[in-house]
């Protein structure tokens, strides 16, 4: 009995599937046309711009929060007061160590003490230089005439 059922299934199913496919009628899909107006395009553009600017603002805010956690406290024993780059691999640092100051020469492989400074010398370095005749000042003097 099982053999007859298997033979019927094997022989009947291909015949039934061929009988269903004889009409060759395919359903027509409706045409979908989506033509947004200029107002819709501008609205999407504005919303996208707001979202991108918001993401940039949030990432900057989070970076500031993270960097504040890793920043050094103000009561450290050693502080960098100033730095100046001589070349891409050589620089000068003015460092405060406790109550004394030092000028350090830093290059790729070494750090050298160049000079120890007194607090008075450091204060004289911090004072702004006298105002020079920059382009803006020269232009103002010419326009006053």
Residue with tokens 């326009």: 143
- pTM (2 decimals)? 0.40
DSSP 3-state assignment of 69?
A: helix
Tens of pLDDT, residue by residue over 56-73, are 999 999 998 887 765 555
> How many structural domains comprise the chain?
1
CA angle 102, 129, 103 (to 5 degrees): 10
Model confidence band, residue 29 (pLDDT cutoffs 50, 70, 90)? confident
Q: In what order do the strands lie in the sheet with 78-85?
A: 78-85, 91-97, 100-106, 111-117
What tokens appear for 38 in the block? Answer: 């200029």
For the residues 95-122, what does the mean pLDDT come to?
89
In a domain, 93, yes or no: yes
In a domain, 23, yes or no: no
In a domain, 114, yes or no: yes
In a domain, 92, yes or no: yes
- The pLDDT value recorded for residue 71 is 55
User: Domain range for residue 99?
Assistant: 78-119
Return the closest-CA partner of residue 106 out of 96, 92, 95.
Answer: 92
In a domain, 21, yes or no: no
In a domain, 101, yes or no: yes
pLDDT above 80 (res 14): no
In a domain, 72, yes or no: no
Looking at the chain, the whole-number percentage of residues with pLDDT higher than 90 is 28
Task: Round to the nearest angstrom and report the end-to-end CA distance of the chain.
Answer: 120
Distance CA 139, CA 142 (A): 5
Structure-model confidence comparison of residues 102 and 130, the more confident one: 102
């Amino acid at each position: 009995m099982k053999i007859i059922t298997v033979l019927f299934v094997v022989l009947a199913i291909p015949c039934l599937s061929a009988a269903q496919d004889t009409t060759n009628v395919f359903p027509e899909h409706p045409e979908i046309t989506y033509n947004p107006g200029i107002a819709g395009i501008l609205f999407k553009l504005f919303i996208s711009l707001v979202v991108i600017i918001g993401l940039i603002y949030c990432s900057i805010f989070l970076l500031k929060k993270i960097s504040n956690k890793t920043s050094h406290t103000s009561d450290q024993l050693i502080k960098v007061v100033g730095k100046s780059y001589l070349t891409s691999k050589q620089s000068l640092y003015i460092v405060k160590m406790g109550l004394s100051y030092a000028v350090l020469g830093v290059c790729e492989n070494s750090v050298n003490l160049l000079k120890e400074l007194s607090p008075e010398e450091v204060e004289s370095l911090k004072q702004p230089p006298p105002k020079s005749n920059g382009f803006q000042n020269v232009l103002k003097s010419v326009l006053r005439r």
